[in-house]
Amino acid sequence: MIPVALTIAGSDPSGGAGIQGDLKTFHAFGVYGAAVVARLTAQNTTGVRDVADPAPAFIAAQLDAVLDDLPVAAAKTGLLGTAAAVDVVVDRLRVHALRQLVVDPVLVATSGQTLVDPDALAAIRRLLPLATVVTPNLAEAEALVGRRVRDVAAMRDAARALVDLGARAALVKGGHLDGPPHDVLCTGGVLHDMAGQRVDIGRTHGTGCTLSAAITAELARGRALEEAVARARRWVARALTSAPAVGRGGRPLDHLVRPDD
């Protein structure tokens, strides 16, 4: 039977990020994708123009409809714009006892615009005890742990702190550091430094969403976490290499790239 993965996130009508990017990623990995819309955005590759929120009860109804019916092997969260949205997601995931969850704590768009309400940050921390892995970038890690994360040593400390906050594992992404990209994975009490090659294509759109979706897809396919992260990182690098210039802003990834198996 085909594996099923679920994204619980915001929309991106331009298709490069959010649930649209997640569903494309799931398809690339041969995984059946389901989606629950937690925040609507009016955005494109140049930035976010407006947002609108479904009622929390409707988010719960979407989750129940999917999880009552589909054998979801892994899920991910993305943009959850309000504390009420986060709380209802936490509640329904606990009720349904989902085993694999990737938490992508989306707080700020690549263009620099804040995407969540001020009270949402504390609520997002309540997701961490449900997380198989949490995948913040540097700014998101700083917000979650409450201190500066601007070098690899601080990334290691932040990864440990996120595990201390309840996540089973943490992947702190260092793509905004100078030099080659460097991520830090903390799992099972062990730190793994993960180096990579920088793909210089200028501004990008949806990279974090796509990486977390690729990890989710690999978990749904039965991969162990470390292997899932490594394979997802390789795939994102390849998808960046052929990223299409379809808009006037950041370039979305090439979701037509196939995994390396």
Q: Which residues are catalytic?
A: 173, 204, 206-209
Residues 6+ apart with CB under 8 A from 223: 231
174: tokens are 């260092």
In the chain, % helix, strand, coil (3-state, to 5) comes to: 40, 25, 40
CA distance 257 to 240: 10
Neighbour-count burial for 185-214, b at 16+ CB within 10 Å, e otherwise: bbbeeeebebeeeebeeeebbbbbbbbbbb
Please provide residue 173's backbone torsions phi and psi, each rounded to the nearest 5 degrees. Answer: -95, 130
Task: Write the CA distances from 79 to 55, 82, 163, 245, integer angstroms.
Answer: 15, 9, 21, 24
Residue 173: CA atoms inside 13 Å, Cβ hemisphere, count? Answer: 23
Task: Name residues whose C-beta falls within 8 Å of residue 60's C-beta, 6 or more positions apart in sequence.
Answer: 88, 91, 92
